Structure 1
Amino acid sequence: MSEVDTMDEAPAPDEAHRFPCESCGAQLVYQPGETEMVCPFCGHRQDVETAAARAGANVENDFEAALGALSRAAPMEESRVAHCTSCGADIEIEGASHAERCPFCDTPIVADTGTHRHIKPQGILPFTVTEDGAREALRSWLGSLWFAPNGVKEYARSGRRMNGVYVPYWTFDADTASQYRGRRGDHYYVTRTRTVNGKRQTYQERRTRWRAAAGRVSRFFDDVLVLASTSLPKAHADALEPWDLTELRDYSPQFVAGFRAEGYQVELADGYGEARQIMDRIIRADVRRDIGGDVQQITALDTRVSDVTFKHVLLPIWIAAYKFKGRTFRFVVNGQTGEVQGERPYSAWKITLAAIAALILGGIALYLYGQAR
């Protein structure tokens, strides 16, 4: 059966994400760190059919073919999406719900009337950190911030619900071969003399001896990770790395039950452009190592890229949003490792009190020093 035939026979978006309990009929949810779905009402457990499957999650898709004929090169799916006008997130909506709150910034959102067709996620990294575990990690992280407003720390202690969201990423593989020309600089020192306050002194002056360099470096890039969302601050999302992508599973909507999934906002071609920037930085570092010496100059660099492949994957992130004086602060927790990142609000009065205390302590120290003389 062709991929196009498979797409045509796919269930409707709402049906594909509904998992009734075999015991009581309520909706099952995925339990982080487990291979089962759990009924929150009667406690019945049911295996996730594809929880142990990993082969499909690691199959690479040809990038050039995808750009040339996107609908045939990668499996597609349709989903109902709500667009947040505040942070720009595109959140998949399940069931008959039309109104939600954005898990990224806590803004009310309304589902679109139609469906969105996009490349289907190929792999998913299931949550292993529970909501309680994520809240404890956030509480510890916020507790280490000296100048955070009390309201932020109270937010962490309040037990308010955190949002578990599967965030979209692209991964890219590529084989590269680069030819370069440049210069290698080796430092050496000569002894010089100078007169200081009427006295002659000797000192070492550093100089650099340059010579031409040329060569070739090659590297295979495996799973260059690119955030496909614009809803989270990129610096915070990138700081959640590393991810253990060897734990990727075949995408299955069962893993998403009880969580949210964000649709990608960075298109495939744009994601590859960012991946190339990451690759180019690493290649330039490889060239500098190959040139050797103390300093290097790269005057020409030509890179041939081949066998480019990609995957669309979903990675687990716990998100908490806190509004302080009209501004939304977001905290994110890696749903696999528990790493915490976030926007750090500062309390003006705490900073002022700290400055006053520092001045008082400085004054006391000067007074004691004066008394001791």
Structure 2
Amino acid sequence: MPADRKNWPCNSCGADLRYEPGATELVCDHCGARQDIPDLPEARARHLNEIDLARGLSDDLPAAQMESVRITPCPSCGAQVEFQGATHATECPFCATPVAIGTGEERRIKPQAVMPFVLNESQARQAMTNWLGSLWFAPNGLQEYARKGRALNGLYVPFWTFDAATRSHYSGARGDHYYETRSVTRNGKTETEQVRRTRWSARSGWVARAFDDVLILASQSLPRSYTDNLQPWDLTTLQPWRDDYLAGFTAEGYTIPLADGHVMAREVMEGVIRQDVRADIGGDEQRIDQVETDWKDETFKHVLLPIWMAAYKYNGKSYRFVVNGQTGKVQGERPWSAWKIAFAILAGLIVAGIVLAVTQSR
């Protein structure tokens, strides 16, 4: 649910202020005025309040943790565009289609925290250009085309984080390898060889793990593989929610509900628990028959993380690139140069032919 761009007027000239990535102040590009974002030392990221998951899933959160938003679906890509304040029209940041306000309104969970941008647009563009330049079999003009393209969009993307204390009982089996010597006859000659066997023994036991901030993308506007591959994020830099950090940027509301995000988080946690079970079973191989987990102290947060995004058309096709606004890590769709691939195949065949000819001439 992409939101409209946040605007703050400059106290000196009235122009829009923007958040300065990597700083704690708002900047006016018109007159150069700067305005500090007040610090909140009593609410550092590590002390951010978690929300009880059961209350969130049962739609029983206090009014202070909820907000009403006006939404309209994008007529082109289907993303739900959020409008705030007096804004009645905006542009969808995912496909650039103009969107006018509709009549829909929803109650949503407020963000608890935001991770401010560290990289500015120029630094993000350089990271993307370097990434494009490292791609094998990319068209020659792509890097230069990207360098000359339109500016990247700074976007705060919604995530859920989940915590849980788990204790799991498992049953399965441990496999230990051993070797037997046997005689075999090959070409009329008797030889001995070692054959690996596995001795299985039943195992059961308990494993426990406390999960902290399991991160789940709360948006359907970008492929999950994109944002998963932008990790890791340093979540210790999360700041208590204040919308000053959104000045000059676009913010997106969640389109994956809390319940669906919780299902995804459970899948991630269950995978880790199975790894713990295998380590506890030990041996050379493990077989897991059953795992029963007791889930306690489950909490969640709704947070916004910074991404720079660009969409380029190359030879009539659109490609999207996303840059981690904290680390500069890049992911995206990449074009392929058909002639470069064909040339590489041809060169490989030529080299193989030369090697074969030299070998046969000896």
Aligned positions of 1:92-241 closer than 5 A? 92-93=82-83, 97-104=87-94, 106-114=95-103, 115-241=105-231
Moved more, 325-334 or 258-267: 325-334
Pairwise CA distance, 1:274:
0.4
Aligned positions of 1:14-33 closer than 5 A? 17-33=6-22
Pairwise CA distance, 1:85:
4.6
Matching residue's letter, 2:225? A
Q: Distance in 2 between matches of 1:87 and 1:246?
A: 34
Do the aligned residues in 2 keep the contact of 1:148 with 1:344 (CA within 8 Å)? yes
SS of 1:183's partner is strand
Superimposed CA distance per residue, residues 84-130 of structure 1 (whole angstroms, 9 cap, x where no aligned partner): 355443344456554444333x3414043234431111100000011
Matching residue's letter, 1:345? P
Pairwise CA distance, 1:351:
1.6
Instruction: Look up the match of 1:6.
Output: none
Alignment partner of 1:68 is 2:77: no
Do the aligned residues in 1 keep the contact of 2:46 with 2:236 (CA within 8 Å)? no
Aligned residues: 358
User: Over the residues paired in the alignment, what is the CA RMSD in angstroms?
Assistant: 2.4
Q: Distance in 2 between matches of 1:367 and 1:188?
A: 47
Superimposed CA distance per residue, residues 183-233 of structure 1 (whole angstroms, 9 cap, x where no aligned partner): 111111111110111111111111111111111111111001000011111
Q: 1:56 to 1:353 in 2, by over 3 A?
A: closer
Q: 1:224 to 1:35 in 2, by over 3 A?
A: same
Instruction: Look up the match of 1:299.
Output: 289
Q: Distance in 1 between matches of 2:39 and 2:244?
A: 9
SS of 1:33's partner is coil
Pairwise CA distance, 1:181:
1.0
Q: Distance in 2 between matches of 1:293 and 1:358?
A: 44
TM-score, length basis structure 1: 0.89
SS of 2:233's partner is coil
Superimposed CA distance per residue, residues 281-328 of structure 1 (whole angstroms, 9 cap, x where no aligned partner): 000111111111111111121101011100000000111112235543
Do the aligned residues in 2 keep the contact of 1:135 with 1:159 (CA within 8 Å)? no
Pairwise CA distance, 1:20:
1.3
Pairwise CA distance, 1:346:
1.0
Pairwise CA distance, 1:362:
4.0
Matching residue's letter, 2:97? P
Do the aligned residues in 2 keep the contact of 1:90 with 1:264 (CA within 8 Å)? no
Q: Distance in 2 between matches of 1:261 and 1:30?
A: 13
Q: Distance in 1 between matches of 2:236 and 2:160?
A: 15
Alignment partner of 1:83 is 2:73: yes
Do the aligned residues in 2 keep the contact of 1:88 with 1:230 (CA within 8 Å)? no
Q: Distance in 2 between matches of 1:118 and 1:244?
A: 26
Pairwise CA distance, 1:65:
1.2
TM-score, length basis structure 2: 0.91
Q: 1:82 to 1:363 in 2, by over 3 A?
A: farther
Q: Distance in 1 between matches of 2:346 and 2:91?
A: 42
Identity %: 56
SS of 1:154's partner is helix
Matching residue's letter, 1:139? T
SS of 2:102's partner is strand
Extract unaligned runs of 5+ from structure 2: none
Extract unaligned runs of 5+ from structure 1: 1-12
Q: 1:61 to 1:42 in 2, by over 3 A?
A: same
Q: Distance in 1 between matches of 2:72 and 2:123?
A: 28
SS of 2:201's partner is strand
Q: Distance in 1 between matches of 2:290 and 2:340?
A: 53
Do the aligned residues in 1 keep the contact of 2:25 with 2:35 (CA within 8 Å)? yes
Do the aligned residues in 2 keep the contact of 1:83 with 1:111 (CA within 8 Å)? no
Alignment partner of 1:47 is 2:67: no
Do the aligned residues in 1 keep the contact of 2:81 with 2:99 (CA within 8 Å)? no
Q: 1:80 to 1:161 in 2, by over 3 A?
A: farther
Q: 1:69 to 1:234 in 2, by over 3 A?
A: closer
